[in-house]
Chains A and B, each alone.
Chain A
Amino acid sequence: MVSALVMLTVVLATGWLIWFSRDIEARAVGARSVGAAAAAVLALWLGMVIFYAPIEQVQGIVQKIFYVHIPAIIPTYLGFALTAVGGVGFLRTRDDRWDQLAIAGAEVGVVFCSLMLIVGPIWAKPVWGHWWVWDLRLTSTLILWFIYVAYLFLRGLAFGSDAAKTFTSVYGIVGTAAIPFVYFAVDLAQGSTMHPSNPAREGLPAEMGRTAGAGLVAFVLVFAWLAARRMEVAALEARELRTNAGASA
């Protein structure tokens, strides 16, 4: 039930973001509704973290850090997947709106990936005794983060040029190949990783599962809202660039 709700939110958010990218100015009002929904679910999730989710017996209260760490995973993957979708769309049509979807996915994906990489060690220190270990899951996630930070740097270096858009579209498509590797890193490591296995297959107690599910829904909605705002900014930047080019011609 919880997994189905999370999946439904992911599918709806993805569909809505692609639909939104087609006509950003006319559909900007819808972004406010998504923002309001995100705020409401965030409040529910926070209430569940504080009052509903039990304190885990072995790890104690620090286990509740998981309710931030786990929900940040899906927006990370979703952002990078949207970068690939935008890249394919741009290469096929040369339509800037696809490029705006790609940049929004990459940037907001990096925000959530950074959050995951910061919050994970805050949990690891009291539980493992180390902030960081160079195991397969952690290292591959860090590499994924570097891949998309490099994408953003490349975009920044050649702002607005067509060649840069083409190159980064290809780069964004190729970059998604790292996602399944990161996701299955714990299985690939065959027991030689300290990172817990993927929670969906672990069978969490009901209260913990529902709280993590609420967090996943909330973070996907926050992701959708932020990505929509980022697309608005990208559209305004493109308009500014066109105006400047027209003025200097």
Chain B
Amino acid sequence: MSYLLCAYAVTAIVLVGYALRLRAARAALLRSSSRRS
């Protein structure tokens, strides 16, 4: 059971972590471009 939970937890961490990283990168780029304009 612990292996199963570990596998699904890793999946959630990888996918959610990557989505959050993209969101942060997008927000930083948008902030930078709005500061310039």
Determine if B3 and A229 form an interchain contact, defined as CB atoms under 8 angstroms apart.
Answer: no
Bound state CA distance, A44 and B24, in angstroms?
28
Indicate whether A165 reaches chain B with its CB closer than 8 angstroms: no
Q: What's the tally of chain A residues with a CB closer than 8 Å to chain B?
A: 27
Which residue from A61, A115, A222 sits with its C-beta under 8 Å from B4? A61
- Secondary structure at the B interface, as helix, strand, loop or mixed, is helix
Q: What's the tally of chain B residues with a CB closer than 8 Å to chain A?
A: 21
What A residues does B22 contact at CB under 8 A? 226, 229-230, 233
Chain B residues within 8 Å of A, Cβ to Cβ = 1, 3-4, 6-8, 10-11, 14-15, 18-19, 22-23, 25-26, 29-30, 32-33, 36
Known contacts A64-B4, A233-B25, then 7 further A-B pairs from the complex at CB < 8 Å, ordered by chain A residue? A62-B3, A65-B7, A118-B10, A119-B10, A229-B19, A229-B23, A233-B26
Would you list 22 pairs from A and B whose C-beta atoms are within 8 A, ordered by A residue? Answer: A62-B3, A62-B4, A64-B4, A65-B4, A68-B11, A111-B14, A111-B18, A114-B14, A119-B7, A119-B10, A119-B11, A122-B7, A122-B10, A123-B3, A126-B3, A233-B22, A233-B25, A236-B29, A236-B33, A239-B33, A240-B29, A240-B33
What B residues does A61 contact at CB under 8 A? 1, 4
Bound state CA distance, A5 and B19, in angstroms?
26
Closest beta carbon of chain B to A192's beta carbon, Å: 26
Bound state CA distance, A239 and B30, in angstroms?
10
Determine if B3 and A65 form an interchain contact, defined as CB atoms under 8 angstroms apart.
Answer: yes
Chain B residue nearest to A239 in the complex (CB)? B33
Bound state CA distance, A68 and B12, in angstroms?
10
Indicate whether A130 reaches chain B with its CB closer than 8 angstroms: no
What A residues does B11 contact at CB under 8 A? 68, 115, 119
Determine if A125 and B29 form an interchain contact, defined as CB atoms under 8 angstroms apart.
Answer: no
Bound state CA distance, A129 and B29, in angstroms?
47
